[in-house]
Every structure is written in structure tokens, then in C-alpha cells.
Chains A and B, each alone.
Chain A
């Protein structure tokens, strides 16, 4: 009962947070300089045409009225007109979000694949040459911005060594799979087009790695700290004294409590990728939501701006909830405390 209530309360807080976020972004987007109607129609359009579009978009109405028009349309699938694509923003989101989701999933997988072994190895072999090398790698990963990593990888592995494609989601001679989820790799696997899935994964590696490097370096450091702290604790020493196998101690009794801080940051990093991915999507010509959001902001496409930021907010809420559940599982003391607080 405590867990159900906990989940329900977190979802409620999340929804309240999203409403507040939508109001804040709504106001900010309209307060910033620039006339979205003029941007949409172009600099040579007549003032009469601009005024007509402003009236159509309710831009002359008071802000609360404008917000009401927008919020009442959200639940009926009318997310407003995009001044950039000139169609319902919901259609744009349906088209572009899966591409960014694909990047998020790719980055999440790469993050885990590298962060856990690196952090565990560094922590177990504290102050050895292995630890030092991993430390240098992680510092580099934290210090270098993701777009710099992207450019380096594109020019070296893409152009220089021809190991990976320079841009795009698929090779020109590959047709995309039927649209089921919109995530090309998943759709290709569902429909059994394994060559398409392989090509899509090949295109996904460089942009996903560029996005994942910074977070995985940070998380590896966190995991290392956790391992170093926990390996000297009484319970670990007790297990060693009891003669537990090394592998069991490392992967069950040491890793689990050490993952808590890493997992907390991991989920937040992954959910924030949508906000950080626009440069990666620009560099790799990836048709994702982040790039669409950047275009929206530069052209003051009000409805598109709110939609992109709301989606980022929703991902953040979901990620936070999942983090809390996982942390509760990893450390039963935290899980029981969460249940007690909500009873």
C-alpha cells in the first residue's frame, strides 16, 4: 500500500510541476523580443498579413486567455500550429521525437555498458595503474563538451578511417522500416529487417557515444567512489572473512549499494539528453526533437517551444520516478522509508 501511494504522490507532484513549467515557459516565450507572426510570414510580408496571423494565433489576447486556448487544445490533440512547419505541433512531435528517443536509448545503453565496468574496476583496483588510467579517461570525458567529442569522432572515425557514417540515420541505399514506434532500430527488429536494424545501429553509435561520454565518465567516478567506500565497510569485511567467493562479493554485495548514487545521476543525465542533444543532432544531421526545438526557439515558434520543453519535463518526471523505485530496490532501507512516509 505504501509503495502504491508513493508512486501516486510522485506522479501527482510531477503533474503539478509540469503545469508550473508550462506556465513559466508560456510566459517566457511570449515576453522575449520578436514577433512570431512576422518570423513565420517572412520579412517582406505586409503588416496586414502579420496582424491577421497574430489575430489567428490569439497573440493580441491577454496571456491567461492565450494560455487557456493552448491548454484546452492539448487534451484534444490540438497542440497548436507550428509557425515553422505550418502544421499541428503534435504531428511534428510524433515525427521527430522517436529519433531523439533512439539517441536517448542508444546513449543510455552505451552509458551503462561502459560506466559500470569502468567504475567497478577503478574502485576495486584503487590507486593502481588501472585506476589512474580510468581516472584520466573519465576526467577527459567530463571536461570535453559533447559537441567537441562529436566533431572529433565524426572527422576521425567517420571521415578519416571510414569506420562509421558521417551523417544520417540510415545509409542512402537502405529503406526505413515501416513506422510502428518510430524508433528505427526497434521497428526494424519487430519487422524482422535485421540488415536495416544493423545499419541503423551503425549510424547510431557515434552520436550516441558523443552524448553518453560525459555522463558515463561522471557516473564511473561516482561508482568508483561508492565501491571504494563500501569495500572497507564491516559487511564487506565480514563477507570476506566468511569466505564468500570474490565474484559474489563484487557483483552482488559490493556493486548493489555502490550503484545508488550512480543510478540517481544516471537517470537524470539520460532524461536531460533531450535538452543537450541539439548540437549532436545538428552535427550528425539527425532529424530529432532537440534540433526541432532549437529551430523553434530561433524562429520563436511558440507552440513548438512549449511542446519540446514539456516533453523534456515529462521525461524528467518519469526518470525521477524510476530512479526512486530503483534506489528503493537497491537499498531496502530507503525503500521501506519511502513506504512508511506515504502511509
Chain B
């Protein structure tokens, strides 16, 4: 017969403790249920069905127009909000919220007349005061696309309900072009949702609320946001320009670039367009699926891959060394083997940008010329004493192959290259000082508005020195002054002539190597989504290849 021992005193106490803990949990749960209030006002997710266009992105967008500026955020913003003007592929501008505009003869005062029939998603009427509020908000928060306006905008006012006046503190010929990035918010709605923050009486300027809501007038509105996971937009039925009957009713942004996840989702048609961050081989495989296709969007965001050469550090302080390196590199191998699908570059400005100098030849290898030029260098005969340090950004593994190709090609002309993988944060830190900058670093740079000056300003002015956008340490006040001068020339033809001259000066000084123009490569289902950018009509400005109102979405093909 089995007899159980009596539990010891310590065991009884342990059970007592456990019982008390469980009871406390139950009481807390009961109190929570009885006092339940949603911690944040949130909308329930919709029930997306076959009417949803789903796309993967590197991240879930930040849809605050004064903060978001990455690819996903820009694509969301162009659909949630309207701006005064709308860009086209060739650099011309279409009226959007503005029906007409005028510029003073000195280029300092811009007057816009607004449409009178625009409503925000909550039904509020859009007026000039909302434009004033949106610009002031952007300038105050100093984030996102504010850098386009901060140096120039002195004042913005609304002399009448539908008239906006911008006064600049210095001429900026591309001011109107830059206004594509001024997304207009509903002042009343934003101000009714301000939280505590550092902007005085404006608190946080509504930035916490705008993380998961929109205050826009665009063809789409936010339906649901799950930060770190996904975002769903729904078409706005009262959009002032009307809706396209075949546009997707819902659009889902899924924030993942994990190859296995994207592969599984695309293969099962749970997404219809992949992100642009997949390996070329992955895109090739996905594009080979029944009904799928590869989309190569030429110079989609007017980006170029530069090998930025430090002109202050030996041996790259010698123009002959730089020229020899320029002609020694095998550019064809880059765009066919390392970064397949990309395009050859032609000079310091991406070929898709208005203002690009068409007389500059495409980058090409000429080993004979390279070997002749290197002999003119003061370092010739002792190049082994001056190895070239080449940084590649570790967050982009393919750049290592580019670096190794470069090292291999330079060895053919007697230049030793030390290839170093560096995290992006460290690259930014090292490029802030000429003594810590490497001889060469490979970085992609995108334009911020549709003109060659966008790249020239970012890359080759004195102000660009010490930033991630310039490793050249140019110290060239002539080029700097020419670029600054070009920004004040309102006449486009005259401005382009000056831009061409600047590009030729930069090209002939061999301060950069132009590896390739960046194309946007994705897999998609053309039978499900007729995508204008994939059909050869991209708008080469970040986000504008995803104006969903211009998509044709075949719902029946989804079933």
C-alpha cells in the first residue's frame, strides 16, 4: 500500500505564494477588463480581399510629410497627399493643387492660385492657409524634405482663401520643382491631435498621431497601420480629380525584404510587386514564374553609383592616377555580372535627369590609355608605396564584388588597392574629416528634384565637403560658385548650358568614377497590375513610380 508523505511547511508556503500570484493576475485582468479603454484611438484593419495590391518594401512607411523621405515613405506620401505641382518624366510640371502660378522678375516671390474644390479625407475644405501651415510645419521640424526649402524660404502667406505667396531670401531657380515635396496637410485636423513635444505651443506638431493617420487630400487614405509590419491604404472616393475605375481599391505596404518571405509571398501571389532590394538572381527566378515578369525601370529615382575619389590623399591627389583608374575599370563587367540590369553611366549626373550633358560619353574601359596615363604620374615607379584604400558599405554585400573587381583592374596598371568593408554609420563618420576619409568609397546618390543641379548641389559644392555625399574634398570654389550661380538662373536653356559646363569640368578632372546609373529591378505580375513605370513611362523621382491612381488593377486575375 502506498502512503503519501505530508507536504513539508516550505512546500505549503510555495503553493501559497503561487496561489497569491495567480489571484493577483486574475484580479488585475478583471480590473483591466472593467476599466478597458483603448490606449490609442485606432481603426480596425479592413478586410482586404482580391482588390488589394500588395507590395513589399524595405520598411513600413513613415507617413508624416515632414519626416518621411525614404523610398517607402515617399511612395505612400505621393498617394496620401497632394502638392502644388506634379512632376512628369521629362521635367515639366503639371498643375496639381495649384491651377496657375507666377514668379516675380527677380525670382524671389512665387504666387500660386489654388483649386477651390479640394477636400481632405475628413471632409474639411483645403485652403491656402493649409499650405502655409504645411510649409511652416516642415520648416520648423527641419526633417524629411525640409532641406529643400530651409535655405531659401523666407516667408509664406495666404493673402486670400485660395492664394499662396512664397517669398524667398535668395533666388532659387528650381523652387517650383522642389514644391513636389511640399505635401499639404489639414491644419485643423493636425492641430486637434497635437501631443506633448518640443515645438512650443505646437507640441509635437501632431507627429505621433501622423505616424498612424493621415491628414491629406490625396487619392488614397490610411486604413490601417501596424508599425514594423504593414500599412493599408484605401481609395478616397471624393478625390478632387476623380478616381480611375480600375485603380486598386486597397494598397498594402508590407515592410519586409527577407528573400524567403518575399519568394513565398510572390509565388503565391499574395504580393504582386516585389521590392527592389532582392538579389538579381532572386528576381530572375521570380520573374520566371507563370504570369510574372521582370521590370527594369531605367534610372527610376535618378540615382547613380559613384566611386568617390579623395583628391587630397596620395596617390589619388594626382590627376594622372585618377585618370588611369577611370580608364582601367571594366564597366561592362559591372553592369553585366556584378550589378546586372543596371545601366552604364555618363558623367557626374544620371542620364535620366533633365540637365544631364548629353555630350559626355558613357564610362568605358581603355587599358591602353590607362597604362599610358599612369606613366605621367609623379608616383609612377613607386606606386607600391602608396596603396589605395577602398571602402565599400557592408550593408550592401554586392559592393564588395565591385571593390574586388576594382582592385583586380587596378592591379593591371600597377596600383595596389586595399579593400575594406565598413558599416554605413562608420562611413558617415569617416567622411566627415579629410584625414579619416579613404582614397575611394562607393556610394549611391539620388536626386532630390528633377534637375541636374540636384546632384551637383549635393555632391560638388563646398558645403558638401564633410558629408557622406562627397569624399572628393574638392575645395574648388570655381565649381562651387558656378553651381550656386546656376541655382539662380530662371531661364532653363541658359541654366542648362551652365550645368553642362560644370559637368564637363567635373568629368575632365577625374575626381569621381561613374560606375553605373541605378535602375529599379523588381518582379511583378503584368496580368494583374498594368504598371506605367514598368511599361517604359517612369517618373524619375523617388516615390513617383507608385502613383496608384494610374495603375490598372485586374481584380479577376487575382482570384
In the complex, B270 has a CB within 8 A of chain A:
yes
Of B36, B229, B429, which is within 8 A of A178 by CB?
Answer: B36
Which B residues are in CB contact (< 8 Å) with A91?
Answer: 40, 208
Question: Judging by beta carbons under 8 Å apart, are A35 and B428 in contact?
Answer: yes
1/0 contact trace for B257-276 toward A, CB 8 Å?
01011011101101000000
Least CB distance from B100 to A in Å reads 30
In the complex, A121 has a CB within 8 A of chain B:
no
In the complex, B491 has a CB within 8 A of chain A:
no
Question: Judging by beta carbons under 8 Å apart, are B261 and A283 in contact?
Answer: yes
Question: Judging by beta carbons under 8 Å apart, are A178 and B38 in contact?
Answer: yes
Least CB distance from B235 to A in Å reads 17
In the complex, A128 has a CB within 8 A of chain B:
no
How far apart sit A43 and B69, CA to CA, in the bound complex (Å)? 10
Question: Judging by beta carbons under 8 Å apart, are A3 and B226 in contact?
Answer: no
In the complex, A113 has a CB within 8 A of chain B:
no
In the complex, A87 has a CB within 8 A of chain B:
yes
Tell me the chain B residues, 429-468 only, with Cβ under 8 Å from chain A.
Answer: 429, 448, 458, 467-468
How far apart sit A166 and B208, CA to CA, in the bound complex (Å)? 30
Interface size class of A (residues with CB under 8 A): 35 or more
Which A residues are in CB contact (< 8 Å) with B146?
Answer: 45, 49
Closest A residue to B469 by beta carbon equals A43
Question: Judging by beta carbons under 8 Å apart, are B11 and A329 in contact?
Answer: yes
Which B residues are in CB contact (< 8 Å) with A34?
Answer: 425-426, 428-429
How far apart sit A111 and B36, CA to CA, in the bound complex (Å)? 32
Which B residues are in CB contact (< 8 Å) with A180?
Answer: 29, 32-33, 36
Least CB distance from A127 to B in Å reads 30
Tell me the chain A residues, 68-87 only, with Cβ under 8 Å from chain B.
Answer: 85-87
Which A residues are in CB contact (< 8 Å) with B208?
Answer: 86-87, 91
Least CB distance from B261 to A in Å reads 6
Question: Judging by beta carbons under 8 Å apart, are B227 and A44 in contact?
Answer: no
Which A residues are in CB contact (< 8 Å) with B39?
Answer: 94, 179
Tell me the chain A residues, 278-331 only, with Cβ under 8 Å from chain B.
Answer: 281-288, 291-292, 295, 300, 325, 328-329
How far apart sit A12 and B261, CA to CA, in the bound complex (Å)? 44
1/0 contact trace for A143-158 toward B, CB 8 Å?
0000000010011001
Least CB distance from B483 to A in Å reads 16
Question: Judging by beta carbons under 8 Å apart, are B227 and A95 in contact?
Answer: yes
Of B36, B144, B147, B261, which is within 8 A of A166 by CB?
Answer: B261
Question: Judging by beta carbons under 8 Å apart, are B264 and A46 in contact?
Answer: no
In the complex, B382 has a CB within 8 A of chain A:
no
Closest B residue to A148 by beta carbon equals B260
Question: Judging by beta carbons under 8 Å apart, are A86 and B64 in contact?
Answer: yes
How far apart sit A169 and B69, CA to CA, in the bound complex (Å)? 28
Of B36, B211, B264, which is within 8 A of A154 by CB?
Answer: B264
In the complex, A62 has a CB within 8 A of chain B:
no
How far apart sit A283 and B13, CA to CA, in the bound complex (Å)? 44
Question: Judging by beta carbons under 8 Å apart, are A154 and B261 in contact?
Answer: yes
Interface centre among B49, B143, B198 (most CB of A within 10 A): B143
Which B residues are in CB contact (< 8 Å) with A155?
Answer: 260, 263-264
Tell me the chain A residues, 1-45 only, with Cβ under 8 Å from chain B.
Answer: 2-3, 32-35, 38-45
The tally of residues in B whose CB lies under 8 Å from a CB in A reads 65
Question: Judging by beta carbons under 8 Å apart, are A282 and B258 in contact?
Answer: yes
Tell me the chain B residues, 49-95 only, with Cβ under 8 Å from chain A.
Answer: 49, 52, 59, 62, 64, 67, 69
Closest A residue to B425 by beta carbon equals A34
Least CB distance from B488 to A in Å reads 20
How far apart sit A288 and B226, CA to CA, in the bound complex (Å)? 11
Which A residues are in CB contact (< 8 Å) with B218?
Answer: none
Known: A46-B150, A87-B211. A175 touches B44 (CB 8 A): yes
Which B residues are in CB contact (< 8 Å) with A167?
Answer: 254, 256, 261, 265
Of A168, A300, A335, which is within 8 A of B229 by CB?
Answer: A168
Question: Judging by beta carbons under 8 Å apart, are B142 and A287 in contact?
Answer: no
In the complex, A257 has a CB within 8 A of chain B:
no
Question: Judging by beta carbons under 8 Å apart, are B38 and A179 in contact?
Answer: yes
Least CB distance from A289 to B in Å reads 9
Which A residues are in CB contact (< 8 Å) with B147?
Answer: 42, 44-46, 49
How far apart sit A45 and B45, CA to CA, in the bound complex (Å)? 35
Tell me the chain B residues, 10-40 only, with Cβ under 8 Å from chain A.
Answer: 10-11, 13-14, 17, 29, 32-33, 36, 38-40
In the complex, A140 has a CB within 8 A of chain B:
no
Closest B residue to A42 by beta carbon equals B69
Question: Judging by beta carbons under 8 Å apart, are A244 and B29 in contact?
Answer: no
In the complex, B230 has a CB within 8 A of chain A:
yes
In the complex, A56 has a CB within 8 A of chain B:
yes
Which A residues are in CB contact (< 8 Å) with B14?
Answer: 3, 325, 328-329, 335
Q: Which residues of B contact A (CB under 8 A)?
A: 2, 8, 10-11, 13-14, 17, 29, 32-33, 36, 38-40, 42, 44-45, 47-49, 52, 59, 62, 64, 67, 69, 142-144, 146-147, 150-151, 198, 204, 207-208, 211, 226-230, 254-256, 258, 260-261, 263-265, 267-268, 270, 423, 425-426, 428-429, 448, 458, 467-469
The 4 closest A-B pairs by CB, nearest first: A34-B425, A159-B264, A287-B228, A287-B229
Q: Which residues of A contact B (CB under 8 A)?
A: 2-3, 32-35, 38-46, 49, 52-53, 56, 85-87, 91, 94-96, 151, 154-155, 158-159, 162, 166-170, 172-173, 175-176, 178-181, 190, 244, 248, 281-288, 291-292, 295, 300, 325, 328-329, 332, 335-336, 339
11 examples of A-B residue contacts, CB within 8 angstroms = A39-B425, A96-B228, A155-B264, A166-B265, A167-B256, A170-B45, A173-B47, A179-B42, A190-B29, A285-B230, A291-B228
